Amino acid sequence: FVQGINFEEQQNYREAIKAYTSAIELDPQYVDAYIKRGTARFALKPIDCMETRDDFTTAIEIDPENADAYYERALVNFYMLYNEQGRNDMEMAARLGHKGAQEWLGLLKKEEKKGGMKDINLADYLSSKNAPIVYFDFNLADIKPSYYALLDEIGMALERTLPKVSIILAGHADILGSEDYNDTLSLSRAKAVEKYLVGKSWIAPQRFILKAYGKSKPVAPNDTEEGRSLNRCVLLTAVEGL
């Protein structure tokens, strides 16, 4: 288990997963090993979520009052756009005293009170049902080719099925670096997504609303590499009522 932590600190997630697996084989009731293996799996390859979520579910089955397991599973559920399950897990984590979950729910309730606009879940309009999120490598604003198909699908949905909605492109960055630098980087990421969609001639530029949150509104905790990697992103949201 300790070896796994050391590997994870070095961002060597493959070896960390092996070490945590060995710890689980020695003690199948080792809750922390399941949680740590889940976070390492998510950091290594966020798109492969099922095994990650299974680790957190196993941890909960062993220890039904483990706040960390509920919180981590909530993040994965939200990533997969299982929003109702994610919120249920987040509420359970908050009831069990998880401060991150309590803060997350507090922010959500503030946003819900504002009202006025209606968010549209873009994933409902995608045949792939993939989350409308583009992740970036550290310190970069270049869209990886692996996201072209997702953006093409989003573009077609916005053109053909949702022609009158506005699109918020919310750029984010991790906590590394200065505030000004991360604000600029997150804006560059949002602009890269806008440029791609406009360049495909699907979306008129005036339909986009770009937001550069930098490191001010993390979508995940920044205290692990897993969390930081999730914060290097652009979230696409379709909105009615603007």
Give the per-residue pLDDT at 130.
Answer: 86
Collect all residues with Cβ–Cβ distance below 8 Å to 171 and sequence separation of at least 6.
Answer: 185, 186, 187, 188, 189, 190, 210, 211, 212, 213, 214, 233, 234
pLDDT tens, 107-145? 777 766 665 556 788 888 888 888 899 999 999 999 999
Domains (range + CATH), the chain: 2-114 (1.25.40.10), 118-240 (3.30.1330.60)
Percentage of the chain with pLDDT > 90? 58
At 237, is the secondary structure helix, strand, or coil? strand
Kind and range of the H or E element at 52?
helix 50-62
For residue 48, the model assigns a pLDDT of 64
**Does residue 207 contact residue 240 with C-beta atoms inside 8 Å?**
no
Per-residue pLDDT reduced to its tens digit, 46-89: 766 788 999 999 999 999 999 999 999 998 887 766 777 888 99
Residue 44, token pair as written in the block: 């290594």
| pLDDT value of residue 201 | 67
pLDDT one-digit tens code per residue, 160-210: 888 888 899 999 999 999 999 999 999 999 999 999 999 876 688 889 989
Strand pairing report for 166-171 and 133-135: unpaired
Mean pLDDT of 32-44: 93
pLDDT at 218 over 90: no
Is the pLDDT at 221 greater than 90? The verdict is no
Greater model confidence, 233 or 106: 233
pLDDT band at 19 (very low <50, low <70, confident <90, very high): very high
pLDDT given at position 61: 96
